[in-house]
């Protein structure tokens, strides 16, 4: 069969690229742990790069989806940059050969990969733009990447900041600084264009594709909120970045491979309900503590303990009420199913005819779960 060799070569290439990425990352970590100055950058990018590589390899090997190859190539290029980064950093203190060229490779690679990261919303979920009208966005991103790479290759606009003791072999060309800055500003605009295209497609798509978009949007918004909140709270949001951003490729993998695709409504509703309940309880706790300490002038630990017990007692009732409200809007299928089952349970209390109960049960299951087939077995006892 002609398709089998193609599929086999596709799987082999995907796993080879994954293996190359892992080897490069391991090399970067090994160099960092032997005394590199910037080892935290290597370790910091491990979860993100590994997540993109694994998901990309899985998607590419199983489906051949171009977005899987996009993820896998991006992870491999990032691994090259991590290895070059660590080698160049180590070379400044260990007199290793080719230090300047390793740093030069890092800056060129980063220039190439930068704008393409912002193309993911536009290319999701099949790896192609929604229509030919969106192709200019890809061309603009490609042009920006080339400008960044060329500017980095023949000047130090993106070099001296990473390695102050190194200089690339060609003298700085002044206009390239402006060109580089303009090119780097293209990325966010490409991302915004992709987000607009996703919103348009979401409004026009069917139910299955909407679930795919929901997975991507949920992971992206969650990661953005976590990273931004961490940046406001502390000076180093890197740990939160390592935890939150890998959720994006995981969500893409679920959406493309359609594994538990329809669980996203439940996930969204639970996230919103717990966020709302947490905010309400924190506000209530703060209000009770202020009331006890400032208004009633109760300075003992009893005020804090009483406030804590009150908030704990209100948690479950408040969570159930908020969950019903959120489900009504964001998880309507579950809300309707729960109402259908509750109504059936109320009717069942007064039912005496077995045949009518059987028909009613089959109807409730059909409305709540929409199965392909329903069968009811009744045990006959003598």
67 lies in some domain:
yes
Same domain, 301 and 165: no
| pLDDT attached to residue 252 | 93
Q: Give me the pLDDT at residue 357, please.
A: 66
Q: What are 22's two structure tokens?
A: 């892992």
* Interacting residues of 284 by C-beta distance below 8 A, sequence separation 6+: 310, 311, 314
Q: Residue written as tokens 């329809």?
A: 262
Cβ atoms of 237 and 231 within 8 Å: the answer is yes
Q: Are residues 178 and 298 in the same domain?
A: no
Last residue of a domain, one of 262, 288, 322: 262
Residue 376 domain-assigned (yes or no): no
3-state secondary structure of 2: coil
Looking at residue 15, its pLDDT comes to 92
**Is 76 part of any domain?**
yes
Residue 337 forms part of a structural domain: no
**Same domain, yes or no: 55 and 170:** yes
Residue 210's contacts (CB-CB under 8 Å, 6 or more residues apart) are 202
Residues 6+ apart with CB under 8 A from 372: none
Other beta carbons less than 10 A from residue 194's beta carbon: 22
Q: Express each pLDDT in 263-310 by its tens digit.
A: 787 788 888 888 888 888 888 888 887 777 776 666 667 777 777 888
Structure confidence by residue, pLDDT tens digits, 95-144? 677 777 777 777 777 767 767 788 899 999 888 888 889 999 999 998 88
Rounded-to-10 torsion of CA 264, 266, 269, 270: -110
> Does residue 343 form part of some domain?
no
Q: Are residues 195 and 239 in the same domain?
A: yes
Q: How far apart are CA 137 and CA 189, in angstroms?
A: 9
Pair 99, 166: CB distance under 8 Å = yes
**193 Cβ partners below 8 Å, 6+ apart?**
122, 134, 137
Same domain membership, residue 213 and residue 273? no
Whether residues 28 and 86 fall in one domain? yes
Q: What is the pLDDT of residues 80-96, one digit of tens each?
A: 888 887 777 776 666 67
Q: Are residues 184 and 105 in the same domain?
A: yes
Residue where a domain stops, chosen among 330, 353, 369: 330
Where in the sequence is the domain holding 121, given as residue range(s)? Answer: 3-262
CB 209 within 8 A of CB 201: yes
Domain boundary among 291, 310, 330: 330
Whether residues 79 and 48 share a domain: the answer is yes
Do 317 and 235 share a domain, yes or no? no
Return the H-helix or E-strand segment holding 358: helix 354-369
Do 110 and 26 share a structural domain? yes
**172 in a domain, yes or no?**
yes
Residue 185: inside a domain: yes
- What's the number of domains the chain is made of? 2
Instruction: Tell me whether residue 43 is in a domain.
Output: yes
Q: Verify that 252 and 277 share a domain, yes or no.
A: no
Which pLDDT band holds residue 361 (cuts at 50, 70, 90)? low
Residues 184 and 319 occupy one common structural domain: no
């Amino acid at each position: 069969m002609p398709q089998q060799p193609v599929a086999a070569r596709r799987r082999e290439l995907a796993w080879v690229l994954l293996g190359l990425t892992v080897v490069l990352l391991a090399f970067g970590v090994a160099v960092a742990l032997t005394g590199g100055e910037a080892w935290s950058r290597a370790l910091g990018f491990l979860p993100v790069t590994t997540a993109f590589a694994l998901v990309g390899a899985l998607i590419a090997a199983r489906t051949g989806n171009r977005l899987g190859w996009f993820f896998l190539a991006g992870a491999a290029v990032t691994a090259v940059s991590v290895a070059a980064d660590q080698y160049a950093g180590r070379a400044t203190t260990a007199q290793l050969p080719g230090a300047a060229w390793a740093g030069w490779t890092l800056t060129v690679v980063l220039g190439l990969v930068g704008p393409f990261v912002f193309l993911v919303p536009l290319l999701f979920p099949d790896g192609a733009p929604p229509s030919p009208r969106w192709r200019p966005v890809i061309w603009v991103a490609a042009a920006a990447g080339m400008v960044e790479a060329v500017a980095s290759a023949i000047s130090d606009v993106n070099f001296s900041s990473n390695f102050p003791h190194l200089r690339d072999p060609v003298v700085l060309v002044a206009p390239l600084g402006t060109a580089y800055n303009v090119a780097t500003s293209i990325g966010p605009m490409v991302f915004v264009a992709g987000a607009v295209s996703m919103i348009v497609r979401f409004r026009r798509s069917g139910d299955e594709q909407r679930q795919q978009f929901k997975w991507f949007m949920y992971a992206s918004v969650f990661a953005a909120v976590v990273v931004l909140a961490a940046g406001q709270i502390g000076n180093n949001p890197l740990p939160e970045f390592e935890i939150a951003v890998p959720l994006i490729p995981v969500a893409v993998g679920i959406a493309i491979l359609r594994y538990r695709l329809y669980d996203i409504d439940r996930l969204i509703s639970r996230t919103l309900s717990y966020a709302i309940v947490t905010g309400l309880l924190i506000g209530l706790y703060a209000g009770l503590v202020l009331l006890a300490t400032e208004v009633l002038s109760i300075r003992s630990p009893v005020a804090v303990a009483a406030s804590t017990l009150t908030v704990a007692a209100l948690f479950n009732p408040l969570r159930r009420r908020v969950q019903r409200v959120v489900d009504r809007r964001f998880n309507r299928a579950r809300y309707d199913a729960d109402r259908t089952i509750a109504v059936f349970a109320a009717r069942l209390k007064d039912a005496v005819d077995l045949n009518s109960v059987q028909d009613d049960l089959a109807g409730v299951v059909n409305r709540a779960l929409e199965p392909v087939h329903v069968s009811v077995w009744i045990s006959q006892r003598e």
